[in-house]
Structure 1
Amino acid sequence: MNKGFEVTEDVPEGDDVQAANPARLGMRLRLARQTRGKTLKALADAANCSESLLSKIENGKASPSLPMLHRLVGALGTNIGWMFEESDGEEGIIFRAGTRPLIALDPLRRGEGISLERIIPYSAGHLLQCNIHHIEEKGESAGPIQHAGEEVGYLLTGEIELMVDGKSFMLSAGDAFVFNSDLPHHYRNAGQKRASIFWVNTPATF
């Protein structure tokens, strides 16, 4: 299958962390809004956020939370994959260990202890979104969130609590899950060490 800046998915600090570019995100958000003929106020109302915050996001001075980003792209009829699309040329096939970027939707606040290791780059050329979610001790995702699609995950290491549609599930390494993305969902690290989830979701409207 989350941080001036409002919290989304966070990443611990480090030289190997690639943070999403707020200016690029804001530019794409503004482009999507303008091409659909929506005013700043109309989009802010549809996404249940303030017009001033949306203006800051579009100008690269703030980052939306993950739930807010889902509301924004839903109101615009686009998808999160397009917002972070990176590949403008020929698609890659092999992505070597140690070369895959970790992403943060907010480079200034990293308090939730979650990083997303990209397995497949965000691109219109892919039908799937695939990341390894690394959750530090006491880390927890933003949410609950819901959107179109389907989620599949496999817990590589650690222990997590997965909450789906108000139900709680405890998972250990080797456990797997699947659910429809339109069910409200979020998760947290339920153990005392880092947990990692191999997470795939489809379609790319995530």
Structure 2
Amino acid sequence: MNKPLPVAAPPRNERAHALGLQIRTLRAATGTSGGVLAARAGVSRSMLSRVERGLASPSVETLERIAGAMGAAVSQFFVDRSARFDFLHVPAGRGMVVDSLVAATGARYELLGRLMSGGLTVAPSLVQMDGLQPESAALTQEGLKFIYMLSGKAHYRYASRGVCVGAGDALLFDASAPHGVERVEDAPVRYLCATFSLRP
């Protein structure tokens, strides 16, 4: 006789579900895995998973640990999800640093927000390269990418093409092809980068 398949536990309540969804969304925006975030926050992986699925109501201390590990404010976990996410203000220097991209490229990526409308997700970042350490020119992402140069000069590689870019220059391309700064000509290099992708 076949045993019935286990049924997933329902969320504790709508508030717990909304809180967990917001935490998972912010974590995904920074490209951080659940295991890495749990380790940084000093909580168990299973506890973080239960919180993200709305199955547990974390203490204020736990929320502060999770927020601190993401470089976010606890208040970001309690956005009213019934309202449209069509306005976001990030004060200067208060974006979230994406550690995975810092490690992979040597550049500082500061996530300035992440908004969803329908099936479209937009994620702008401020990228800074203070030294001559080049960013890997082999980044690939889903969707489109827009870059606006603020300062410095660099040689940007897109697939088999290369172009020298400086302050005021802009790039727009399909991010699924390998791309990135291949060589820094005049440091520091700073540019705004925004990715546009469709949710599956």
Following superposition of structure 1 onto structure 2, how do residues 35-184 of structure 1 map, counting pairs within 5 Å?
A: 87-90=76-79, 93-105=88-100, 113-121=106-114, 127-184=121-178
State the Cα deviation string for residues 164-204 of structure 1 (Å, max 9, x = none): 11111100111001011122212145224210110001116
Q: How does 1:21-36 map to 2 (within 5 A)?
A: 23-24=36-37
Question: Of residues 194, 199, 206 in structure 1, which corresponds to 2:193?
Answer: 199
Task: Give the deviation of 1:148 after TM superposition.
Answer: 2.2
Give the Cα–Cα distance (whole angstroms) in 1 for the partners of residues 106 and 157 of structure 2. Answer: 18
CA deviations 1:46-65 (Å, max 9, x no partner) are xxxxxxxxxxxxxxxxxxxx
Partner residue, 2:56: none
Q: Which has the higher contact order (CA 8 A, sep 6+)?
A: 1
Aligned AA (2:111): R
CA RMSD of aligned residues (A): 3.6
Question: Which structure 1 segments of 5+ residues have no match?
Answer: 1-17, 32-83
CA distance in 2, matches of 1:199, 1:162: 13
Matched residue count:
130
**Residue deviations 1:7-47, cap 9 Å, x none?**
xxxxxxxxxxx9x686228959xx7xxxxxxxxxxxxxxxx
Q: Which amino acid letter does the alignment assign opposite residue 114 of structure 1?
A: A
TM-score relative to the length of structure 2? 0.52
* In structure 2, C-alpha distance between the alignment counterparts of 1:124 and 1:25, rounded to whole Å: 25
1:147 Cα offset (Å): 3.2
* TM-aligned CA distance change 1:158 to 1:189, over 3 Å: farther
Higher strand share: 2
Gaps of 5+ in 2: 1-29, 40-44, 50-69, 80-84
8 Å CA contact 2:126, 2:190 repeated in 1: yes
Give the letter for the 1:103 counterpart.
V
Secondary structure of the residue aligned to 2:121 is coil
Q: Which amino acid aligns with 1:195?
A: V
- The answer to whether the 8 Å contact 1:102/1:118 transfers is yes
More helix by share: 2
